[in-house]
A and B are shown apart, each in its own frame.
Chain A
Amino acid sequence: DTGVSQNPRHKITKRGQNVTFRCDPISEHNRLYWYRQTLGQGPEFLTYFQNEAQLEKSRLLSDRFSAERPKGSFSTLEIQRTEQGDSAMYLCASSSLRGGGTYEQYFGPGTRLTVT
């Protein structure tokens, strides 16, 4: 069990550019979540997948954000035409409900995005 990994750990981009983040969940975890965290606040839900199906997407998520989990393993989060307000820590988490899973989410270290 190597834990949840996220790449890159830091990303600096100019306003208007597109960025893509990757999350590798704990192997065999069937659920994968994306959250956004800004300074002084708790993580804010963006979207989550069960296997390859995207089950829920936050209404706060603009159409500039898209997430995929094509084979039910790793996931990518893309932000198009970045804005300064997108600057935040993007957190990925995974969980398993298989075989009596215990529901808690295991978090990765996050990707810190800075939009200049």
Chain B
Amino acid sequence: AQSVTQLDSQVPVFEEAPVELRCNYSSSVSVYLFWYVQYPNQGLQLLLKYLSGSTLVKGINGFEAEFNKSQTSFHLRKPSVHISDTAEYFCAVSEVPNAGKSTFGDGTTLTVKP
């Protein structure tokens, strides 16, 4: 069984400041890791994914994340946020190699203030 913990339920930040959204996971098997973003009244959209290889992955909209196997973490970062980044962010895992169901964290609300 897998579980995902997003350590911050809400993150307020000023525009152009850096941000980190934290995600830890627990699993008895190897996992694939994902970050999704959900804008109000919209579906989830993939930001980035880690499947294998380089532990630093880059995604859309200037986001990146680093997989740390020893700490079972997959934190999301952006060096300079915009007002338009205000949204709900979800970390998720799925099992290698089947990549069936995903287990999601409860989300982090990122609010970017002017």
Contacts and interface: CB of A to CB of B under 8 A. Distances in A.
24 contacts: A31-B100, A33-B102, A35-B104, A40-B106, A40-B107, A41-B107, A42-B90, A42-B104, A42-B105, A42-B106, A43-B102, A43-B104, A45-B101, A45-B102, A45-B103, A91-B44, A93-B44, A102-B51, A103-B94, A103-B99, A106-B46, A107-B44, A109-B42, A110-B43
Interface size, A (range): 20 to 34
A4 interface: yes
Interface in A62-116: 91, 93, 95, 97, 102-110
A36 to B, nearest CB: 11
Interface in B73-106: 90, 92, 94, 99-106
Given A41-B107, A103-B32, A104-B49, A48 B100 contact: yes
A44 B42 contact: no
A44 B107 CA distance: 12
Interface of A: 4, 31, 33, 35, 40-45, 48, 55-56, 58, 91, 93, 95, 97, 102-110
Interface of B: 4, 6, 32, 34, 36, 42-46, 49, 51, 90, 92, 94, 99-107
Nearest to A109: B43
Given A103-B49, A104-B34, A44 B104 contact: yes
A109 B39 CA distance: 11
A91 B94 CA distance: 17
Nearest to A4: B43
A48 B100 CA distance: 8
A21 B78 CA distance: 37
Contacts of A95: 99
Contacts of B104: 35, 42-44
Contacts of A31: 100
